[in-house]
Structure 1
Amino acid sequence: MQNVTGRSHLEDLRRYNEKLERLCRLTADVARLGNERATLKKIVDTAADLIAVQGAHIALVDRDEQQLYGVISSGRHPRDAPRLKTQLSRSAAAQKALKTRRPVAIKNAEDDRRVNRRARDLMGIRGVAYLPLLSGKESFGLLILVTRRPHSWTSRELDLAKHFADVASVALENSRLMTQLAETEVRFRSLVEHIPAIVYLCEVEPPFRTHYISPQVKSMLGYPPQEWMSDPNGFIMKIVHPEDVGGLIDLTAEAARTRGFATAEYRLLDRQGEVRWFRDECALVRDPSGTPIAWHGVLVEITGMKKMQH
């Protein structure tokens, strides 16, 4: 009898370890998937399969409206299927999970007033577990697991479900950050490409090979950005006025050793061979170890000012 019990226990452990391995693979998949919907769908489908429940759902909180609204569910559903919205005031169990930041599990929701009645009837909920989605000190949503019959939730099931909630939290947070980053990049690029100046990124040492230069360089000097960036010998050194080359090299070398920023005024030759004066404000870009890796600067034309001075 003891041998049978021992074998059964080992088999349970083996199955649980297999589930943990699948969860680890899911975490790796989530890191690769770029689409938020595809990522969340994979999470809820895998959760429903591994925990053996009839439904897994992700719902987010609308703090302004005090509502919980469905985002995605396991299984097959039309893409335009309506999403369930429920008032948090009528979902005491969901509220508790969000407030305490801990799972809330209910064996039989049929007569349990803590479960939203409308959601219970529409989704056929009997057993239900609410797992909070966390970001820092904030609970911003729930992973909701549903069974069609009363269900006694085990500690292993809830531990596994918590891991799924953590993966979903990271996926949603990454999606938020990527969206914010993309919006910031668009705004920055729009600013860089419309200000009346030339923004650049170049190597620290002469000949200062260009890694980026804004489009205004073509209208201001006549040379397209690609001509600058494709030149391995540092395009700018070809158009700096010969009398200014030595001073520019000495100034940047000293700034790289000391302050980490430099201001210079020097002459550039445009495509027609005309002399243009520019004021160059640049700062060192460093890697995490503190090593200088580039100059990031702005060139502003001051030809008119120089003519007035003379």
Structure 2
Amino acid sequence: MTVHISTPAAVDQRCGSSTCQCGPAATNEAPRAVPVPPTARINGIALHGPGQRPDTATLRELAYTELLRQQAVRQGLLTQPDDPAPQVAPELGERERQIIEAMVDQKVLTPRPTADEGQRYYAAHRAQFVVGQALHVRHILFAVTPGVNVQALAVHAERALLELSHKAVHPERFARLAGELSNCPSSAQGGDLGWISPDDCAPELATELFHLKHAQTATGVHPRLFHTRFGFHIIDVLERRAGTQPAYEDVRERIAALLTLQSRARALHQYMSLLVGEAEVEGIALEGADSPLVQ
């Protein structure tokens, strides 16, 4: 890169001059072309207009939708648009979506789980069905926000956790640190969240605090950070309400519905993986079904 140094003569010239430091640097290089994002296609049909690039989730949904549309056309359930060779995937109307959903329901068979499968699931996930359990919890949230140095934030949180885990720490220190460090509105109450149930917190927190065996009796400051979609948490369990364990018969239908949903998700994944394997896919990596259209 050429560095231009102002001379006495150049000082009198104003910004915008080719000889002014504030102006654009003179260069013999040709302007660099702005890269055009690649067009994602399914069997030659573009999923978006030229030069556009939807976000990853939207692009994936468009891809799965187009795979299903083309499959419905091959089966004679839908007709091609008036254009015999469409360049861009057509948008589906409600009628077309219903036809595709009916096609998927016919192709993706979901067997109802057996009683043995339900009982095995209940035995392995008993804590998931406890009712009436609650925790009195306080926390310190180190929020992960755009542009934050996550590694430095984690180190900062670990230091605070190490201090609070020390046996000689003053009982009021947690509340004081919550007021100073926490990015949660509860910081005004020393991080106190009150009594919470599994439905009151993020799924990853509910699993750690309620559903795992090691978490069902412990109180006090948790020995490690909790990492959720919101950031890093230092958790202090003050009190516990144990709740009651329902019998298998009381939750049998709930378990059957859950296992049926899981079975359908696996079958959908296999079906969509088959369509992906048979298609010519460009500009996007596809694995299996996670499109709202077929879930």
Q: Do they fold alike, i.e. is TM over 0.5?
A: no
**Greater share of strand residues, 1 or 2?**
1
Normalised by the length of structure 1, the TM-score is 0.22
Normalised by the length of structure 2, the TM-score is 0.22
